[in-house]
Amino acid sequence: MSTRGSRPPRLKPLMKPLRGRGKPSNGLREETEKEIQNSILEYLAYRKDVFAWPNQSVGIFDPVRKVFRKSHSKHHLNGVSDILGIYRGKPLAIEVKTKIGKVSPDQRDFLHQFGEEGGVCFVARSVQDVTDHLG
């Protein structure tokens, strides 16, 4: 069942309580890239002008060998963005990063070519970055 457009997004707090090791003095930690990506996908699912999905960038899981297999296709493309979709009829690519995450050269090249070909693409470190770009 689709929930697109049915209710406003639940925006998650930027900082979450930290459990376990490495706890900073204020008891909070930075969100992981996966958490930011999930918040962005929840937000995009609520928008009626976006159809978006997470890009499967890790390899396909091999249940026999219990490992992630990387693609060995000669057509495999490195640096494909974390979120792909369609925004108002245009291809959409969003590279998700944490506050301090660095964009790799492959990711930068992908975004550059995506934009050259007419796509809407950007790096997002928060839901706010997405609303800034898409309005």
Q: By the criterion CB under 5 A, which residues form the site for Mg ion?
A: 82, 96
For the chain, give percent helix, strand, coil, nearest 5.
Answer: 25, 25, 50
Choose between 31 and 82: whose C-beta lies nearer to Mg ion: 82
Minimum distance, C-beta of residue 48 to Mg ion, in the bound complex (Å): 26
Minimum distance, C-beta of residue 71 to Mg ion, in the bound complex (Å): 18
Choose between 23 and 70: whose C-beta lies nearer to Mg ion: 70
The residue to which tokens 């890790």 are assigned: 58
Choose between 1 and 58: whose C-beta lies nearer to Mg ion: 58
Minimum distance, C-beta of residue 98 to Mg ion, in the bound complex (Å): 9
Within 10 angstroms of residue 25's Cβ, the number of other Cβ atoms is 5
Instruction: Tell me the one-letter amino acid at 36.
Output: I
Contact between residue 93 and residue 103 where contact means Cβ atoms under 8 Å apart: no
